[in-house]
Amino acid sequence: MERHRSAIIAAAAVAPLLCCAVLAAFRGSVTTSTDALVLVLIVVAVAATGDRLAGIVAALSAGAWFDVFLTQPYLRLTIHDRSDVEVTLLLVLVGVLVTEIALWGRRQQARASRRTGYLEGVLGTSSIIALRDASPQVLIDHVAAQIVQVLGIEECRFVPGPGPGPQDVSIDHDGQVTRRGHHVNVERDGLPTDDLIHLVVRQGNFVHGQFVLTSATRVVYPSDVQLRVSVLLADQVGAALTHAG
């Protein structure tokens, strides 16, 4: 969609013009209400792409060309009839509202898709734990790859030994990110790019090691859910290592 955004916006501007030009040839046989409904269909089709700018452009274009071609005085950007003014305003309003509804729907769909992906990752890890012949290293590698995918970071590697120090960036068991003892607002500021991020692998009070996360070349903004899923994945590794020991 991003690759074709310019074409979509151009089509949003031109389609109502072409439609109104065609409808103008049938002024005597087609009512103004029918003309407006046809334009609404075009605006809704553009707005359904979820591109806010394209939806607004289509709505404004439909309102303007409806005025020029389909309301008296024709071929002038002037409306004398009150009902035509209302129809024009409704065209613009419908376009804006449908665009916002489409954007909301796409956001909800994206959230649902992410949640499904997180669940599949956790279930995939659980399936490896369930395999008695699977080595701890297989599980560690799998979880590291899942954490990269869930958080959108560049690299994740397991380091055995003690947990992070008080000056390190770390993700605690509640999914909160701390840096030098201070909470980091990840959804607003993103994960730090100038420090390694440490995710402890433990079972109870026993620390097996930590996943060291890297996000150096770009800022990522994982949600609380993504961070908690990463902690859950690390906890499964901790349980498996305890069982293996």
Q: Could you tell me if 244 and 134 are in contact, meaning their C-beta atoms sit under 8 angstroms apart? A: no
> What DSSP character marks residue 199?
E
Task: Please check whether residue 124 lies inside any domain of the structure.
Answer: no
Please tell me the predicted confidence (pLDDT) of residue 34.
85
Do 91 and 148 fall into the same domain? Answer: no
Residue 23 to residue 82: CA distance in whole angstroms: 21
Whichever domain contains 145, its CATH number is 3.30.450.40
pLDDT for 127: 67
- Tell me if 114 is assigned to some domain: no
Same domain, 147 and 230: yes
Query: Considering the domain boundaries, does residue 123 fall inside one?
Result: no
For residue 57, give both structure tokens: 């452009």
Which residues of the chain fall short of a pLDDT of 70? 1-3, 79-80, 84, 110, 113-134, 245
Query: Are residue 228 and residue 155 in the same domain, yes or no?
Result: yes
What is d(CA 159, CA 140) in angstroms, rounded to the nearest whole number? 10
Query: What DSSP designation does 72 have?
Result: S
Tokens at 211, concatenated? 């996943």
| Sheet arrangement for strand 182-184 | 155-160, 206-214, 197-203, 169-171, 177-179, 182-184
Q: Residue 211 falls within a domain, yes or no?
A: yes
Residues 169 and 226 in one domain: yes
Residue range of the domain that includes 17? 5-108
Contacts of 48 (CB under 8 A, 6+ apart): 98, 102
Residue 52 lies in a domain: yes
pLDDT of residue 152: 87
Structure tokens at 6: 């310019």
The pLDDT score that the predictor gives to residue 128 is 66
Q: What is the pTM of this model?
A: 0.56
22 found inside a domain: yes
Per-residue model confidence (pLDDT) at position 124: 66
In a domain, 115, yes or no: no
Q: Which residue has the tokens 């729907």?
A: 105
pLDDT value at residue 101 = 81
What is the distance between the alpha carbons of residues 140 and 138, in angstroms, rounded to a whole number?
6
Q: Same domain for 30 and 102?
A: yes
How many domains does the chain fold into? Answer: 2
Measured CA to CA, the distance from residue 96 to residue 21 in angstroms comes to 23
Q: Both 177 and 97 in a single domain?
A: no
**Considering 58, 90, 108, which residue would you say is the last residue of a domain?**
108
Model confidence over 167-202: pLDDT tens digits?
A: 899 999 889 999 988 899 988 888 998 899 999 998
In a domain, 121, yes or no: no
